[in-house]
Amino acid sequence: MSQSNIRFPKKFMWGASTSAHQVEGGQHNQWTVWELDNAKSLAARAPYHYEDLDSWSRVREQATTPSNYVSGRAVDHYNRYADDFDLLTQLNLNTFRFSIEWSRVEPEQGKWDAAAIEHYRDYLKALEARNITPVVTLFHFTLPVWFSELGGFEKRRNVKYFQNYVEKIITELGQHMKYIVTINEPEVYAAQSYHEGNWPPQRRSRWLTWRVLENQIAAHAQASRFIRTKSRKYQVSMAYSVSHVYAGDDALLSRWYARVFDELANHYVLRRSMRHNTYIGLNYYFSDRIYGYRVHNPNDELSDLGWDMQPQDIRYVLEDLSDRYNKPILITENGLADAEDESRQWWLTETIRAMHRARENGVNLLGYLHWSLLDNFEWDKGFWPKFGLVSVNRNTQERTIRPSARGYARVVSSVTKE
């Protein structure tokens, strides 16, 4: 990209994101229980879901093998985190988002695992030693088994258990933190687990979808109140999944439905939780083009997962969020599944240009965290989608920096000026 006119301030947060379950390995939570029960059927149903994808011939073998759907040792980040942090340094990145695994810290209700807490203390110190700012997520789709057996976020009375966990983490580890994401993508979690029925506990009910959303909003409010009372240094948000919604034609119906869709899919949770945020955590992956009552995307450029790629549209999301809510924004996730690394460099370039334009138009943008640092476990799709700046050979656990990541590192150092 021509960077001569593109500038980002020295304090801009450049980084990458992960979540515990997707990289750590060795988990025991509601997801691992579900994976073991469902690996065979997920593998058997893979052709039905993915055989139309351009990537299918490449991924078929992995996608039809049950072990693909079991997180197992994942990419062993639990043991290899120090080396992984060195990769961040090599890539000129100053920020890292990760999640703390609640099921490790509180494996039984009310019983805290001191060794697990110590692990995360060492982990945070290892980031500190490298001058890397942590962005800490407290709940990223995985729950202790005991909590999900009590009904998880389906029940309002269970919110207190999440609050106990939050208080424990802040009390023990808060001195090493500033940026906190209480809950990752509450709307995606509620929709996938309780509406689409794709994720555990695979219960399909409109009532439960709504309850789980509301209870996460309540959990966020309580957590944020506690955290901000402890210290004003903390910056708190959820990470919201927001798409750019636009009408594909001038028809009244398309324009009207685009507005309704945007309000429901993107702004319901944002509006209900905004007063408990000091910033906005934004996860942006795609746009939704509306024709009539349907999402119908151009699909000119597709990622390995078949997602329509419109990286430049992040600009509209940034400007809209900034206009509506007037808070600083941190891009907590953004990226694509691209095993061959064909489009990632282009994606990053387009995104950085769009961020620059949004900043010129007055958006207070704190930083950009690419999803993901490492190839990882992509939930019900398992390991075949490759989102990493760094690829991982899971037989040897060897890490290889992808060419696009080197490009990202070069851009970061050339656009960052006083």
Q: Where on the chain is the footprint of ligand BGC (CB under 6 A)?
A: 19, 22, 184-185, 188, 241, 283, 333, 371, 378
* Residues near 165 by beta carbon (within 8 Å), at least 6 away in sequence: 102, 105, 106, 138
CB of 387 to ligand BGC, least distance (A): 6
Q: Least distance to ligand BGC from the beta carbon of 292, Å? A: 27
The residue among 98 and 123 lying less far from ligand BGC, judged by its C-beta, is 98
Question: How many CA atoms lie less than 13 Å away from 10 in the CB half-sphere?
Answer: 2
Query: In this complex, which beta carbon is closest to ligand BGC, that of residue 35 or of residue 185?
Result: 185
Residue 38 CB, nearest approach to ligand BGC (Å): 18
Toward ligand BGC, which CB reaches closer, 34 or 371?
371
Q: DSSP of 26-68, one letter per residue?
A: ---SHHHHHHHHHHHHHHHHHHHHHTTSTTHHHHHHHHTSGGG
- Comparing CB distances to ligand BGC, the nearer of 6 and 305 is 305
Side chain identity, residue 47: P
Nearer to ligand BGC, 68 or 283 (CB): 283
Give whichever of 215 and 334 is closer to ligand BGC, judged by the CB atom: 334
- Percent of residues in the chain assigned helix, strand, coil, to nearest 5: 50, 20, 30
Q: Is the dihedral of CA 114, 120, 125, 126 positive or negative?
A: positive
Distance CA 255, CA 152 (A): 38
Q: Which of 251, 220, 219, 217 is nearest to 236 (CA)?
A: 220
**Smallest distance from the beta carbon of 377 to ligand BGC, in angstroms?**
8
Q: Rank residues 248 and 311 by Cβ distance to ligand BGC and give the closer one.
A: 311
Shortest Cβ 88–ligand BGC spacing (Å): 18
Closest CA to 259 of 320, 215, 322: 320
Q: How far is the CB of 285 from ligand BGC (least distance, A)?
A: 6
CB of 115 to ligand BGC, least distance (A): 26
Pairing of strands 416-417, 8-9: parallel
